[in-house]
Structure 1
Amino acid sequence: MKSLKFNFASRAGSVFAVAALAASAAFAGGTHGGGHDESPIGEPGVAANVTRTIEVDAADSMRFTPSNVSVKKGETIRFVIKNSGKVPHEFSLGTEKELKEHYEVMKKFPTMEHEEANKISLKPGKQGEVIWRFTKPGVVDFACLHVGHYEAGMKGQVKVAVK
């Protein structure tokens, strides 16, 4: 009887794993035609293509300095972010909607840390970088999504101009 339960559990786990892989493959496809939707904020940059470096300070005053940045469409920017404070901070690029949605997740999991192409978590006194290529004109938001920081005003914008 035990082996029957084990086999059932094992099969159920396999079914779940296959379903999860299928769902992630469908999500990665982007559109029903199998193509990829281009992100409204751009794409991960390549270090060899960096056109400028912008240093950003993340402070316990719940502000980024600078909080407004201007770039040109097509530029690849290296953001060097320094946490000059005594509490953890992060730098997350996204649309306002994406940032607000992720902030709600951060409220449920406040110790979550990031090291992704468009975001990085930094402990006090630490420094890191995000390399990003801005492919569309408009506004790209950035924020610290640690609980309380976003509401306190720890956010900014990258204004992307047509060349």
Structure 2
Amino acid sequence: MRTRLRAASVGLLSVAAVACSSDPTGFAFGEPAAARDADRAIQVTQFDTPGFDPAAIDVEVGETVTFEVTNAGRTTHEFVLGDAAMQDEHADDMGDMAWSMMADEENALTLEPFEKGSLTWTFTEPGTVLYACHVDGHYADGMVGEINVGAG
């Protein structure tokens, strides 16, 4: 009995150690960064149609970008960075919580009409990252853009 308990304890401690040593941000595609470390700034405009301009952006692995986002619409919009799974999960969560809670997330901005904001991000893995708005079903209506992260 003690052997089983000891084995179970060791197993749980191993899992906990791995969980604690993983990326603290939890973002497989990159991490938040300071604006002073940005390699460049990219202007992004949000519209009520709904949509973003530009609809697609190219960056390189290791590049740090400040997204300077302007809400040109008359309704609140989000700018949420995430892979497709994260965006889908956030879309599901929007029905369960107030959208204003996203304001505290490291990978997101919530902008009121005509408001501007910025988010700086370092991209660490090649692939596709999406930016989207989930307010009032905008994501389902196509308010999503694509960041193509090249291997360099």
- TM, length-normalised to structure 2: 0.82
Unpaired stretches in structure 1, ≥5 consecutive residues: 1-25
AA at the equivalent of 2:18: T
* Paired-residue identity, %: 34
Residue 124 (str. 1) matches residue 133 (str. 2): no
2:142 to 147, 153, 157: 153
Q: For 2:36 and 2:117, how far apart are their aligned partners in 1?
A: 17
What residue is the counterpart of 2:77 in the other structure? 89
- 1:27-56 deviation per Cα after TM superposition (whole angstroms, max 9, x unaligned): xx7824x41146322001122210010000
- 1:72-109 deviation per Cα after TM superposition (whole angstroms, max 9, x unaligned): 11000000110000000010001111111111111233
1:71-90 alignment, distance < 5 Å: 71-90=59-78
What residue is the counterpart of 1:42 in the other structure? 30
Taking only aligned residues, the RMSD between alpha carbons, in angstroms, comes to 1.9
The alignment covers a number of residue pairs equal to 135
Structure number with bigger Rg = 1
SS in 1 for 2:85: helix
What residue is the counterpart of 2:124 in the other structure? 135
CA contact (8 A) 1:96 1:141 kept: yes
SS in 2 for 1:152: coil
**1:80 and 1:35, CA in 2 relative to 1: closer, same or farther beyond 3 A?**
same
Unpaired stretches in structure 2, ≥5 consecutive residues: 1-12
Higher RCO structure (Cα 8 Å, ≥6 apart): 2
